[in-house]
Structure 1
Amino acid sequence: MTKQRTGKAGKPTKANRPAVPDSGGSIAAVPNPFVGLRPEDLASTAHQIGTQCVQEPALLLEQQTQLAHDLLRVIAGTASAPPARDRRFADREWHDNPLFRMPLQGYLAWRDAAAGFVSRSVMDARSKERAQFFTSLVFDALAPTNMLLGNPAALRETFESGGLSLLSGMTNLLTDALTNQGMPSQVDKGAFRVGKDLASTQGAVVFRNDVLELIQYTPVTAKVHARPQLIVPPQVNKFYVFDLASGKSIVEYLVGQEFQVFMVSWRNPTAAQREWNLDTYVAALIEAIHAIRDITGSDDVNLHGACAGAMTMAALMGYCASRGEKLVNAATLMVSVFSLDEQSQLGLFATPEAVTTARQSSQARGVLDGEELGRVFAWMRPNDLVWNYWVNNYLLGKAPPAFDVLYWNNDTTRLPAGFHCQLLDILSDNLLATPGALAVMGEPIDLSKVACDKFVLAGMTDHITPWQGVLRSARAFGGQTEFVLSSSGHIQSLINPPGNAKAKFFVNGDDTTDPQAWLDGAEATSDSWWNHWSQWLKQRSGPKRKAPSAPGNARHAPCGEAPGRYVMEA
């Protein structure tokens, strides 16, 4: 583990620290998955771009002149080389063969012209970001790599297979049209079994109510820290993102570090549970915590959660602070934001009309379907999560890969309408971080009254919960908060086991809310943040004692082996 700290006052030099991504960049400018992406919003954005073309003829002419100049350079062979860092164009044919290089350079010229016009237009900042997202969607779809005749790798595969790759591709296309709602399959769904290949850490279900199952994991060390750890996963996915294959499992890592580990496994709701809301989930969590206290003899627990699970934790801690109850000793909140303010960029298409439509849709059906959420997430990163598999499955005729993270991502759950609508209100109006604006089980909450120690994790390249928004959300709490910035994205920041040479994280004891100021003063460490987190936890987990010989106790006898029953429900 190596640390980087250079320059005066312990600040890293500009050569060693990354800049905060621009608010109009592809990382930040994304739609809100809880609202969705409506065709009418995209059509409205396209119309707005067209209106700008009419209203700004001088700018349009200037951009067309630049485009003509760039296209002439393509014809003359003096255009810039294709971007080396774009994985879509890694094949040497894009660089060496003019039959591929020139169409690619022409495509890039058109793409840059459209982006240049949008960035130089007089649209307001929010409209520009929507327009940039729209144009990126269009040009990502029109990339020559997505077409058989424009993709050298696909053409080679066609000739080498005698056309069989095309037949396989058509079969894959038909299968996805019938079984995957027309989206390219991201993963081989037959490659993994939950409880065998994934979520395989040994343990037992020691408590179950209508909302959750509580899993207690089997210790692997002779002694354990007295204070237990409870992991709260997001309700929009199944819990085993924290217990993937061996070597990637946070649960496996924590039990190896002498912690007592418990896990919440949320029930996958149907329309029959349409009324479940934040109060439902918080009340169920409190029941689980009381079960843990009874099993372990500890007065309180350390909570850890991600995304919507961390929001639920925050609501629970606000409720406890309001009532003067100490159920939580310390908390870890990972990749979670509390609002859709303009700076966080998560609310790019979260217009009042879109929010109303999303609310009415889930109320009519009783749930927000997980597959619908998954499609929105995919279109937030179309090159990685859509067109990459379009090429692999259809043009190359290959089977989707066997990848544990993508298997988990496709093992979707539903959100009850009550909770979904409440999330829309919380995120749109910043209710969770505004003192007294949100009541939990009848108690108005104020996060500034939450005084327990907190560890807050964000991901530098996170496109779902941008780290700048996570930093601002963290400042809503009282007490001591350690903010840690991983160099990875949303899921990659969570699944970050030690030993990855590319892993890096940043820390800074300053409590500033300015992201660039925070990063300017941050210290970079070349390692996974897990080890840093483990040391933080050990200081807050009490003395060691003999590990329990069996799960549960007389009042909470095991009612099944891990991973339990709820995670298996479709």
Structure 2
Amino acid sequence: MRDKPAPGTLPTAATFINAQSAITGLRGRDLLSTLRSVAAHGLRHPVHSARHALALGGQLGRVLLGETLHQPHATDSRFSDPSWSLNPFYRRSLQAYLSWQKQVKSWIDESGMPDDDRARAHFAFALINDAVSPSNTLLNPLAVKELFNSGGHSLVRGLTHLFDDLLHNNGLPSQVTKHAFEVGKTVATTPGAVVFRNELLELMQYKPMSEKQYARPLLVVPPQINKYYIFDLSPSNSFVQFALKNGLQVFMISWRNPDVRHREWGLSSYVEAVEEAMNVCRAITGSRDVNLMGACAGGLTIAALQGHLQAKRQLRRIASATYLVSLLDSQLDSPATLFADEQTLEAAKRRSYQQGVLDGRDMARVFAWMRPNDLIWNYWVNNYLLG
């Protein structure tokens, strides 16, 4: 179940977006429709709107006089530069932005709109508020300093990055240099070998890194939407090496990249594949049972496997199960799902069956918008404004 924001805090897009949005799709016309509804409600209730407009005007007047009315959140790194608090211009621009944010939230909270409409409005304005932050402009003090320090080259580099992302990254700022990593050289460097393969996965066994190993193996089930080496990025932050050095026999699943031919695969297909891999681990090690560890959708898969084995009275084959960021009991009350009507769901079903798979770029876009300040606007500033 999604936790409700703490009283008095501003909602963020991450409060509202979940992976289901990637499947149903969130159409731009739905957001525009929400904004039109908000505007219409404001016109129908002029007294309510005028009261909040006057309150905002009063706060802006005090801001112009130099008062500091609001403080950014302690974890908000966008305004960590001292210029936002010391420079009169930047301090006023930040205070105006925070006043606008809080007054818009108050207007929506105190409006007479139905709960669903208020949730949609908060969702839309959370995205807008993040986008119009003064830190996202060329007047960002960090960008101004870099512009002078580089003799204008930062602006040229930023425009080059922007043009490249428009052509090759769906218009989103790149988060990493894609050619900087190579499997087996810069990531996934822990020695091991593929010991089993079926249609859905490859099972890898890693070379021991301790003199003695526990008899019972550990089988790691990564999420189907990530690569297995999320657990083996580099020697300094490799869970695999940590486990090996502590005497565990580690097996890892590497999921196959599905395509349109595999559109009929479902959760039961993945559960059966993991069960087969688990039995291979038992056969290789001679252990009667295994320790399972699942992350995200991998956790959901091993939970279903446990239920399957319990129904067959064979749960004893699993000694323990560890879950990492696994959502097993969810309540889909996200405002993002409020945009999903019958027409949207039918279109999503047709698109899913025609394409056969959910494009990874669509998932990447959704997860980026779950934390836009960290995964979009942070890179907007870094790549384009700072160059």
The TM-score, its normalising length taken from structure 1, stands at 0.63
**Residue 190 of structure 1 aligns to a residue in which SS?**
helix
User: Which residue pairs with 2:352 in the alignment?
Assistant: 362
Seen in structure 2, the aligned counterparts of structure 1 residues 356 and 132 have a Cα distance that, compared at 3 Å, is: same
The runs of 5 or more residues in structure 2 that have no matched partner are none
Seen in structure 2, the aligned counterparts of structure 1 residues 253 and 351 have a Cα distance that, compared at 3 Å, is: farther
| Structure-to-structure mapping, 1:476-515, within 5 angstroms | none
Deviation for aligned residue 1:359: 2.5
Number of residue pairs the alignment of both structures matches: 378
**Does 1:283 find its partner at 2:272?**
yes
Amino acid at match of 1:378: A
Deviation for aligned residue 1:339: 4.8
1:22/1:28 contact within 8 Å kept: no
1:70/1:79 contact within 8 Å kept: no
1:32/1:349 contact within 8 Å kept: no
**Does 1:192 find its partner at 2:178?**
no
206, 215, 219: which one pairs with 1:230?
219
User: Which residue pairs with 1:31 in the alignment?
Assistant: 17
User: Which residue pairs with 2:42 in the alignment?
Assistant: 53
Deviation for aligned residue 1:349: 4.8
- 1 or 2 for the larger relative contact order (CA 8 Å, sep ≥6)? 2
Amino acid at match of 2:21: V
**Does 1:271 find its partner at 2:283?**
no
**Residue 213 of structure 2 aligns to a residue in which SS?**
strand
The runs of 5 or more residues in structure 1 that have no matched partner are 1-18, 398-570
Amino acid at match of 1:392: N
Amino acid at match of 1:34: Q
**Does 1:69 find its partner at 2:58?**
yes
Seen in structure 2, the aligned counterparts of structure 1 residues 83 and 31 have a Cα distance that, compared at 3 Å, is: closer
1:35/1:354 contact within 8 Å kept: no
2:18/2:334 contact within 8 Å kept: no
Task: Give percent identity, aligned residues only.
Answer: 46
**Does 1:22 find its partner at 2:6?**
yes
Q: Deviations over 1:214-262 (max 9, x none)?
A: 0111111222222111111111111111112123222111112211111
Q: Deviations over 1:175-216 (max 9, x none)?
A: 111111111001122222221221111211100111100011
User: Which residue pairs with 2:285 in the alignment?
Assistant: 296
Amino acid at match of 1:144: P
66, 80, 85: which one pairs with 1:90?
80
**Residue 303 of structure 1 aligns to a residue in which SS?**
strand
**Residue 302 of structure 1 aligns to a residue in which SS?**
strand
2:72/2:98 contact within 8 Å kept: no
Deviation for aligned residue 1:309: 0.9
Deviation for aligned residue 1:140: 1.2
Q: Deviations over 1:65-108 (max 9, x none)?
A: 11011011011112326526321111222222222222222222
**Does 1:210 find its partner at 2:204?**
no
Seen in structure 2, the aligned counterparts of structure 1 residues 249 and 355 have a Cα distance that, compared at 3 Å, is: farther
Aligned counterparts of 1:348 and 1:233: Cα–Cα separation in 2: 30
Amino acid at match of 1:22: A
| Structure-to-structure mapping, 1:462-481, within 5 angstroms | none
1:31/1:350 contact within 8 Å kept: no
Seen in structure 2, the aligned counterparts of structure 1 residues 347 and 225 have a Cα distance that, compared at 3 Å, is: farther
**Does 1:322 find its partner at 2:345?**
no
Q: Deviations over 1:477-517 (max 9, x none)?
A: xxxxxxxxxxxxxxxxxxxxxxxxxxxxxxxxxxxxxxxxx
1:225/1:258 contact within 8 Å kept: yes
Greater mean deviation of Cα atoms: 159-168 or 229-238: 159-168
Greater mean deviation of Cα atoms: 154-163 or 179-188: 154-163
Seen in structure 2, the aligned counterparts of structure 1 residues 351 and 303 have a Cα distance that, compared at 3 Å, is: farther
Deviation for aligned residue 1:355: 3.7
